[in-house]
Structure 1
């Protein structure tokens, strides 16, 4: 089975997903800074990213994301799961 990959725009880094790890944890292990203060509960909205490509491989928006009133291509990294490759960006890179 091919593992989905996250490509971080502007940083020019790719990370292959590992089963059982949160996306935030995985990116941080690869020295990719991701902001958060709520430990993945979808409350702080600091881990907001833009899905630049591969939106069809991202899970449906959660209730936390719906309450956050994100723009159409924005998601909370702590709330998504992937079934394929995506490209993400954020304002703090």
Structure 2
């Protein structure tokens, strides 16, 4: 602990959400629940066809996992969290007894 406190700066690995573009169909279920407004729905064109998917603003994301818990396609995840861990947290917050 003393070694850490003696440094001028500490570099942390950010815990943020990541989009699995192959799985994201642009349903946007994760956009509104994000308490930090870090997720936006964007349109892009592939072979002349307009598609949608979400993007994470890394500066705003705090890695809370709300998006991961709401995504039905498992298209967004937070490093260091497994889906089972997040579901347990959701159930605990809602008072659900297994």
The TM-score normalised by the length of structure 1 is 0.30
Which structure has the greater CA radius of gyration?
2
Q: Which has the higher contact order (CA 8 A, sep 6+)?
A: 1
The TM-score normalised by the length of structure 2 is 0.29
